[in-house]
Every structure is written in structure tokens, then in C-alpha cells.
Amino acid sequence: MNTTTKPGPKPTAIPRQQNVRPRVAVSSCLLGEPVRYNGGHSRSRFLTDTLAAHVDWVPVCPEMEIGLGAPRPTLRLVTDGGVERLTTKDGGDDHTAAMLAFAEQRVAELPDLDGWVLKSRSPSCGPRGVSRFRKGQPTDRRGTGMFAGRLMDVRPELPVEEEGRLNDALLRDHFVERIFAYARLRALFTGAWMPRDLVAFHSAHKLQFLAHDPARYRTAGRVVAEAGNRPAAELQDEYTELFAAAFAIRPSRGRHVNAMLHVFSPMTDRLDTARRRDIAGVIDAYGRGDAPLAVPMALLRHHAKGEDIGYLQAQTYFEPFPPELSR
């Protein structure tokens, strides 16, 4: 190890995942509440047994909260002449007006959130792929639950997932990464913040940002450079929009390789040839699809720590969320 190079600056005090708890709205039945039409629940083990220890839930059951009770007749979405309605299966009761009024009010009252987990296929909660019945025509399966639609209209930038998709490791990691990133941003912008706080935040998220969207990283950098010279609220909104849009893009293998080369570069002159080859080899192997992401990441994290490179140690890229959430 070359010890003649001066160590980099010390890591900055960016809110890390140990210090933040994402606030996540969730369909109550997914937490095991007996609120379904049949008096049962749709408990998700990942949510109740794993994620629950790291987030603050905001449970919502739209059908119970408009007073339908459980058990109750099943509801469905019906479209007729371009108008969508929420009715009982036999069409006897129409709950459209009650649900729309409730959604308007409940969404306005919700606290600042970092994401949603919604029950799939529900005519009230389903975020996508909900059946819409049409008289004399085949069922359209591209609907959105009536409550979920209002949520997503009001906060389109927030991550939304269905419980079933959280069983897919890639989708789950992306969702969890986004809610933690959003929670750190919310922690930054809660209360008074100084331009230097935003500079430090942007710097600590550089590699994570690059893995998602290099173009938006650069645009956001220009926004950060204007901190102090523009109204803070306007700058905060613009940065939040860029950050959310960038993190909504799932990182590709190529973008991860690009981010990892940004990690590798500042440490190359501190490492001997064998170590350099070792690291370059595992990054290549990951790029070819011959090694999982965890392999080069573990090696890079190890060397960033061993070489005491403060800038790298401060990067959220190495641990974007508590590792126990990645099964």
C-alpha cells in the first residue's frame, strides 16, 4: 500500500440509512389487518417481517375508511361511455363519489412520504393492471385502483410498488434503494438547510446518482452550483424533481461499471499492480455478466476503507440501504 499520498477529506455528515426511516404508505391488508372484503388480510411477510423494522408505516384502507366495513360485498371498476365507476359486483351500490371525495381528502392529509406499497389488482388500491369491466366488451386489464390513481396523480415522483413485485430481487432492491434515497433527501430539506449541506448531499450521492442517470447527475450539479443565488424553495423543488426522476431509472450493468470506475480511479495510484489487476478483473467480470454486483462492490468498499479515501467512504453507493433488506 502506498502511504505517501495524503488522505482525502473526511466523510461529510450526510444522513445515512442508519439515521433515516423512510415513511411509507401501505395498503393496511398487506400488514395483516383483517380489512379485506371477506374479513381476511393479504399479509406480506417481506413487509411485516423484514421491512417493518426499518420504516414507519402509514396504513390506509380506503374501503374501510369510507365506511364499508368487513366483510362487505366485493367491488369492481366499471367503465361506461368513458366514465369510470366503483360499484359492487352486482352493480347495486355505487361508491364512486364517496371514494373520490375520500381520496381527495386523505391524500391532502397524508404526511410527507417516501413511497407507497399498494395491494395489487384491487379496484381501490391497485397501482396498475386492475380489471375494468365494460358492458358487452372484453375486460380491460390496464386500470388503476380509484384511490391509487389519486395518490399517483398528486405525488407522481414517489416510488410505488405492489406487494407481489417485491418478491423479485431486482425490483425490490430498486424500490428499497429509492425510499431510502428519498428519506435522506427529505431529512436534508426538513428545516433550514444551507447551500453547503446540499453540496455535501449531492457529492455523497454522486456514484449512486451516476449509476442511475449520469445526464441528470450533471444537470443536478448545475442546480446545486446555484445554491445561495436563487430562492431556496425553488432550488429545492428543482433538485428534488431531478433526483426523483434519476432514481426512478433502474441502474444498468453498464452504468454500474461506469460508477465503479469512478471509485477505482482515485485509488489506483495507492494500489500495487496485483491489487489493481484484481479490482479491474472483477469489474470486468461484472460487466460481462460473469459476477454479481456484490463482488466488485465488496472489493471496492474494502479498498476505499483501507486506503482511507474520505470522499469514497462518504458515498451512499456502497450501502444505499441496510444490507439485511437485500435477501
Which residues make up the interface to ligand SF4 (CB under 6 A)?
27-29, 35-36, 61-64, 119, 122, 124-125
Q: Half-sphere exposure (CA, 13 Å, Cβ side) for 72?
A: 19
**Which CB, 64 or 220, lies closer to ligand SF4?**
64
Give CA–CA dist 45/53, Å, rounded.
12
Could you tell me the three cell numbers for 237?
423543488
Give CA–CA dist 27/61, Å, rounded.
6
Cis upstream peptide for 322 (omega within 30°): no
Least Å distance between CB 68 and ligand SF4? 9
Least Å distance between CB 182 and ligand SF4? 22
**Which CB, 61 or 188, lies closer to ligand SF4?**
61
Least Å distance between CB 190 and ligand SF4? 28
Least Å distance between CB 144 and ligand SF4? 13
**Which CB, 125 or 200, lies closer to ligand SF4?**
125
Give Cα separations from 177 to 183, 189, 273, 282 (angstroms): 10, 19, 34, 23
Least Å distance between CB 62 and ligand SF4? 5
Could you tell me the three cell numbers for 71?
366483510
**Which CB, 62 or 159, lies closer to ligand SF4?**
62
67 in the Ramachandran plot: left (φ > 0), alpha (ψ -120 to 50) or beta? left
Residue 182's identity, in one-letter code, is Y
**Which CB, 151 or 312, lies closer to ligand SF4?**
151
Least Å distance between CB 170 and ligand SF4? 25
Sign of CA dihedral 199, 201, 207, 209: negative
- Tally Cβ neighbours within 10 Å of residue 91: 11
**Which CB, 29 or 223, lies closer to ligand SF4?**
29
Least Å distance between CB 51 and ligand SF4? 17
**Which CB, 122 or 208, lies closer to ligand SF4?**
122
Question: Residue 30 contacts by C-beta under 8 Å, 6 or more apart in sequence?
Answer: 41, 42, 43, 44, 47, 117, 119, 163
Give CA–CA dist 293/285, Å, rounded.
10
Least Å distance between CB 152 and ligand SF4? 14
Position of cell 491489487?
275
Question: Residue 44 contacts by C-beta under 8 Å, 6 or more apart in sequence?
Answer: 30, 31, 117, 163, 166
- Tally Cβ neighbours within 10 Å of residue 313: 16
**Which CB, 78 or 299, lies closer to ligand SF4?**
78
